[in-house]
Amino acid sequence: MKIVITGGAGFIASHIADAYIALGHEVWIIDNLSTGKQENIPEKAHFIKMDVNDPAIHDLFSQEKFDIINHHAAQMDVRVSVNDPSHDARINILGGINIYEAAKNSGVKKIIFASSGGTVYGEQEIFPADESHPTKPISPYGVAKLSNEHYLYYYYAVYGIPYVAFRYANVYGPRQNPHGEAGVIAIFTQKLLAGQQPIINGDGLQTRDYVYVGDIVKANELAISTDMQGAFNIGTSIETDVNTLFRHLHSLIGATCSEQHIPAKTGEQRRSVLSYNHIHQQYGWEPSMEIRAGLDKTVEFFRVQST
Ligand SMILES: NC(=O)c1ccc[n+]([C@@H]2O[C@H](COP(=O)([O-])OP(=O)(O)OC[C@H]3O[C@@H](n4cnc5c(N)ncnc54)[C@H](O)[C@@H]3O)[C@@H](O)[C@H]2O)c1
């Protein structure tokens, strides 16, 4: 198939691009390289340096007639969205609409979208959250992700374009960006490798659901090989607190520093964990990477990078 991936120079989507190419698909990447890196782009991909808001995307889509649009480009820093909601919305909402409008008359068979299970539900009432959990995002980033899901439903209902919205938990692994939703892993790893002192916000008992990027790739493979349609959580159903992460990384790296805390950041979500039952029951997806093994691979990546 002919697949265009937005954000394919970034952490998650570059792994998806690698996998689609390995499966024999023709992969095109659109990325403005704002946080993505040229070195992440697979050699066999066609790369177009372009912003998701560029009107030229309409001509590109009508000329190339992609089978699949996999939309991962985003401003992915929750704090940036809080400081400048308009900037976030320009990329994360208007950029999405530009992509979907360009897709509308181009014969696309499916749109896959990177949503965020860590933010669309807001403060969780049920642990783990399934897809029927109330969606009350408490950041502009989460509002933007959820509104893309509503737009995608609109294009599905009115124009018949199937879509998959993956509500990812906190994704970690090689190539990850310190500003992303699982940024704490990259930050702690880089500091510990450099012999510096990582700092834990608050008591360190705030939890997240950390899912390995290889498991995210498997879900994106299923999305193009099955009739998958609608919103699906992609997580592990396991809550890991920041202190535990710190201790795992500390021992994997063989660090000697102590555990240091500062007062908690205001407004930080306390707990987040997703049920993956829906995609498991329907398509057999389940996470396969245990956290310590995944952290080991991540540390290895940053170790090589730092030498
Ligand atoms: N990392 C996580 O834990 C996580 C969790 C849930 C959802 N997501 C979503 O997954 C997607 C990928 O995230 P990531 O962690 O790989 O981040 P990333 O920053 O590594 O990747 C985003 C990519 O989009 C590109 N980009 C940004 N703005 C652009 C624009 N205006 N036009 C074109 N390209 C643009 C960047 O250059 C980058 O290559 C994002 O949509 C993010 O919101 C990530």
Q: What is the pLDDT of residue 265?
A: 85
Q: What is the pLDDT of residue 178?
A: 83
pTM greater than the 0.75 cutoff = yes
Give the chain's length. Answer: 307
Q: 306 CA to middle of ligand 1, Å?
A: 23
Q: Is 274:235 a contact under the CB 8 Å cutoff?
A: yes
Q: What is the pLDDT of residue 298?
A: 98
Phi-psi region of 7 (alpha: psi -120 to 50; beta: other; left: phi over 0): left
- Ligand 1: nearest atom to the Cα of 8: 39
- Ligand 1: nearest atom to the Cα of 51: 32
- Ligand 1: nearest atom to the Cα of 33: 37
Q: What is the pLDDT of residue 105?
A: 87
Q: What is the pLDDT of residue 282?
A: 98
Respond yes or no: is residue 141 known to be catalytic: yes
Q: What is the pLDDT of residue 306?
A: 86
Mutate to test the pocket of ligand 1, among 12, 51, 152, 240 (most ligand atoms within 8 A of CB): 12
- Which residues form the pocket of ligand 1, taking CB atoms under 6 Å from any ligand atom? 7, 9-13, 31-36, 51-52, 72-76, 91, 95, 114, 116, 118, 168, 170-171, 177, 180-182
In this prediction, the residues of the chain whose per-residue pLDDT falls under 70 are none
- Which domains does the chain carry? 2-170+211-234 (3.40.50.720), 173-209+238-273+289-306 (3.90.25.10)
Q: What is the pLDDT of residue 292?
A: 97
Check 100, 141, 155, 210 and give the catalytic one. Answer: 141
Q: What is the pLDDT of residue 295?
A: 98
- Ligand 1: nearest atom to the Cα of 180: 1
Q: 27 CA to middle of ligand 1, Å?
A: 17
